Structures are given as structure tokens and as C-alpha cells.
Amino acid sequence: MRVARTARDGMDGRVRAVAELHELLPGADAVVLCVPLTDDTRDQMNASRLALMKDGAVLVNVGRGELVDAQALVREVQHGRLRAALDVTAPEPLPHDHPLWDLPGVVITPHIGAFTHAFTRTSLDFILRQLRDYARGETPANVLARMADAR
């Protein structure tokens, strides 16, 4: 599998800028959204970006429901072009009569996709590691470069 990561700004050639999504979406089998909701990310996957995705691709949203234009997604799934796995929706909770509930190719989880049997232990281990590193004056894992530079 080839993974293409994106961020608001590209970084070191390893992370592509969101402005390059028009180049990346047509070749993606899966697009995973795991970003916060901001003015810049609201409707990040709008009708034109969804239309760029290749036939049969799956959109996975574990960020916030408002990242996706739900009406445009419904149209794409109804036409059989796209599939979706949604841990979050807009609105949330999704009304019982919303078309996403009955569309083939759509899986909806109740905004608890992260909670598995291993979640609590893994999360606690990670938090303790982060605190230990910080207490030792070391840079904790997963700190963004800009944040690390500001220290």
C-alpha cells in the first residue's frame, strides 16, 4: 500500500499540501479524514473533491462530520461510485430517516470507533510515556515540527 499524507502545508516532501488533493484523489482507493473541524477543513470533501475520487473508492471519516458535504456524498454513493465508512456524521446523531442509513456501501459506527478492548491500556501507556519524556526534558512523541521549534 502506498500512503500519501496531507497537511495544511506540505512538509519536507513527505507530506503533501491539502492544495494538492486534486492530484491525489483520482488515484486513491481510500481517503481517510482524521483532521479537526476548522474554517479551513469544513466541507473539505465537497462535491467537487468527491467527484475527483475514482470509482469504487471508499471515504472514511473519523474526524468530524462537517468535513464532508453529506448531500454530495449521498449522491455519489447512490450512483454506486463511492463507498463510505463513517464514525462521525453531520448532523450527529444522524436522523433515523437520513438516506445514509439505507445506502449499500455505507457503514456507520456510533462515534466510538476508537474504543476497542485495547484502547484504554494502549492510551494509558502512551500518555505515561509522553509524561515521562516531558519530565526528563525530552521531546514527547508525535510533536509537530512547528510546535517543537517553538519550544
Q: Tell me, yes or no, if 111 is annotated catalytic.
A: yes
Q: Cell numbers for 133, please give them.
A: 519524556
Catalytic option among 49, 64, 66, 83: 64
Distance in angstroms (rounded) separating the CA atoms of residues 18 and 5: 9
Alpha helices in 14-66 (DSSP H): 21-24, 47-52
Cα–Cα distance for residue pair 23/21, rounded to 1 Å: 5
- Selecting among 16, 75, 81, 111, the annotated active-site residue is 111
Are residues 81 and 55 in contact, defined by beta-carbon separation less than 8 angstroms?
yes
Choose the catalytic residue: 20, 23, 92, 138.
92
How many CB atoms are located within 10 Å of the residue 111 CB? 16
What phi and psi, each to the nearest 5 degrees, are found at residue 12?
Answer: 50, 25
Cα(9)–Cα(20) distance, rounded to whole angstroms?
10
CB atoms within 10 A of CB 95: 10
- Residues classed as catalytic: 64, 92, 111
